[in-house]
Structure 1
């Protein structure tokens, strides 16, 4: 549900989402009902319009797999159901959209598309008249108001600090080491894969022993993504590596490089650059991440509460097979 919430919060009220994207909407789908929320029917035409919004604008229809198309269609139906439920909640709470707000938005869109005729032409391709689109705008604007008033969360530093102080156990971190890492992958499809990986690891290890910079060697030899940062993986605590690696690297002193450690998937070389005992992560260090996670969690909770409240009053039905209304 959270992804849908983010989608709704970031939804731009415009006709842009209906442009292009490789297929024409069949006007006959206007009468094919795929879901129902209370007395409101959701048609195949609405689903296809929502799919045109959800699909990435640079992703052509001919390249979409059937599975991906099915997944996007399911999301489109879900979004439309949530929109109807939130629309119900907005009206129940007495929120309103004025004619002036809709007219102002329509004026902006007509200006954006150079003329009323151009906008009408675009909308017609998706089975909408200007009047239909005005009703869509009213619904979206009302849902947007509901989200801003009842879902959007704005946390202050004081809020974050209070949460941190009450939940310090959550911010305790086990002992960790700061490390640079080289990983030589064994190609399982090559009968000589392990032998080749060992030879590559030996070359890398030899260069390190000769005094060459570990970061430079990691960049040239490692198959791990950290190679672009010279093998720097920052501070890591136990659980990051397989046990047979951890048994060796956590006993190293700062500045030491491990021997070549071989596992089923590859060969590993680790350099320890720092050590940190178990600690309580300082508030200043965690506050940005905490704000993001806490905001997301609280918004999801509020969103779910509104959806569940609406479902107490509106029956939701999704039809496996589309039927004519």
Structure 2
């Protein structure tokens, strides 16, 4: 919709029903419908309306667009022999989703203020909210090439530079600046600033974690070439300060956690083999027709009453033959 929400709001004085906030060609959206839709949203989504009212405008416009489109496409739908079946299946999904959402809302209501729950989660689990240590490190790379001669030359150059650093002919800072590479965000001084070791390759990461500040590594050989690294500075991690951004992240995680548990438990309560019967022969025939593959005979799990009876009869016959 290109028009703004305000330009589409209708009032009783314009001849519209008092509860119709938007209307077009006989299709209207009421305040009750808007409130019901908003009640179905998460706390974070509702908070976004407070931060930016334009989000609420877009949400309401989208509600109306969907309703208007649904009303108008219905008469153009080809209601073939599958229509009612698909409609019922869609309604089944709606019933389940609505039921699960209500269960989740009830669980969140039990929890209460999620901001309080988020702070409690943060205070109770400080190890989960620690920032990784970051490092500034010098990085020299002598690239590995495909031909054997270039590989030998690259390794020889790395060894020569490392020997020059060890002998004092040049400092690691001078060497890094001279032999720096753009890989991994190396700056003009040959330093990779504020790098997270966990995001480096395993070979370099393991060395970085062991080096003292100012210590120069031996040559690190990996698939990209020959590396020399040295720690210029370490930035300790520590506890991430609690702020609104972190709070929202924790709330989102808590909502997912509560929702996942509620949904899993609810679904489990309606599942299982108890009382289930099925026509194995017809199911197998349908499976083969749809896939072109003959289904494997399943192990008897007692869910098919006919199969269970046949199994019992076979067992009795076997026992009888033994006794004879």
Where on the TM-score scale, by shorter chain, does this alignment land: which range? 0.3 to 0.5
Output the TM-score relative to the length of structure 2: 0.43
Output the TM-score relative to the length of structure 1: 0.43
- Which of these two proteins has the greater Rg computed from alpha carbons? 2
The structure whose residues are more often strand, as a share, is 1
